[in-house]
Amino acid sequence: MTHTMDRIIAHVDMDSFFTAVEVMDDPALRGRPVIVGADPKGGQGRGVVSAASYEARRFGVRSAMPISQAYRRCPQGVYLRGRMERYAEVSRHVMDALSAFTPLVEQVSIDEAFLDLSDCRRMLGRPPDMGRAIKREVRRSAGVTASVGIGPNKMTAKIASDLRKPDGLVIVSAREMPSFLAPLPVNRLWGVGPALESALQGVGIRTIGELAGADPAQLERRFGESARQLHARANGIDDDPVAGGSGIKSVGRETTFDQDTADPGLVRRKLLELCEDVAGRLRHHGVKARTVAVKIRYRDFDTLTRRSTAGVPTDATGEVWETARSLLAAGLQPGRPVRLIGVSASNFAADGGQSDLFPPDDPRRRKRRSADAAADEVTARFGERALFRAGRLERPGPRRPSTTTR
């Protein structure tokens, strides 16, 4: 087994992936501020930015920003609806390209992955040669650029890939790792969000180096048991392996309505649409989920999330929908206008688990799986709107929801 300090781990992150695909498909967009997300005019400025090109970022436009705010900052931008089928297609080309270097590829989202290159020295050479080869192959195979970070562990590689975007390459050896990490702000570490960053600053810790030099016992007394792991990360200790196959932790989809609605039928129909997509993506990734969650955001931005965890995982559309429908019924408040609805699936198991609604040989279960397989085939050939359940018929004009995979 390769020792931790002898490992060569790469993090490959596509540069503004959604907008890069749009520019690749329409070269006339090159050099222009491109924003993928909601329509800032047709949807009354509702929804959020899914991705912003680097040209748009110069105007202060960022992912997850309300689309109305993005439009105020960059009215001259090109605003496009997302095309998740196309992004998923290009993502498959990227992941196929990465798999040519090593079977140890852990995809963590639609546009990023970790690779364990520890046993590839003889074939690929030194880490800089590896990084350049990966970047060339991604561009050749998928037509987009990637930033690559290479280090002795996943955490360091991830931090490195973020430092010189776009089209960057940063190599950090095990010997260089302490001096590389030390001056960086503490929020670069996994697990340090705004609240924890503020708390650490409150005790005089602003950089990773300051955290690495702190007394772990005092940190634990102040911040709890997780502080020891955080202290270890600050010292470059991360033994997390690169897991071959899908590293995705959850699959979710949500949509903001063009107008707030108190119509429970409309909310249910939209939720069914989202469930169809989420279940299809579970099958695409070859995983089954034990946990289904439904998110409801009301007009006043009050957000409610309900979850249900089953003993046996599933990827069946009907079962995801039945769980989500029950969660919606428990959380939906009559007469209160809804702004956003979403569904996610998590707590994965590898494909091969059985549904807990029907025995494995039950004809109803076989019929459901056959229907799902047929639907997946039609969707793959003709697009996501080619086939859908009858429960979605009474709905307003089509609106493409945003998709999130983590």
**Token output for 405:** 């995979």
Q: Any catalytic annotation for residue 112?
A: yes
**Dihedrals phi, psi of 355, to nearest 5 degrees:** -70, 145
Rounded Cα distance, 130 and 167, in Å:
15
Going along 167-286, which residue ranges are E strands? 169-171, 245-246, 250-261
Please state whether beta strands 105-109 and 245-246 pair in parallel, antiparallel, or not at all (unpaired): parallel
Q: How far is the C-alpha of 368 from the C-alpha of 363, rounded, in Å?
A: 9
Tell me the C-alpha distance between 147 and 94, whole Å.
Answer: 13
Q: Rounded distance, CA 51 to CA 54, Å? A: 10
- Enclosing H/E stretch for 377: helix 363-382
Q: How far apart are CA 378 and CA 373, in angstroms?
A: 9
The position carrying tokens 């702004």 is 339
Q: Name the active-site residue from 22, 55, 112, 276.
A: 112
Local structure of 238: helix, strand or coil: coil
Enumerate the β-bridge partners of residue 113. 12, 107
Distance CA(246)–CA(250), nearest Å, equals 11
Token pair of 156 as six digits:
């360091």
Report residue 343: phi and psi, to 5°: -140, 145
Catalytic residues: 112
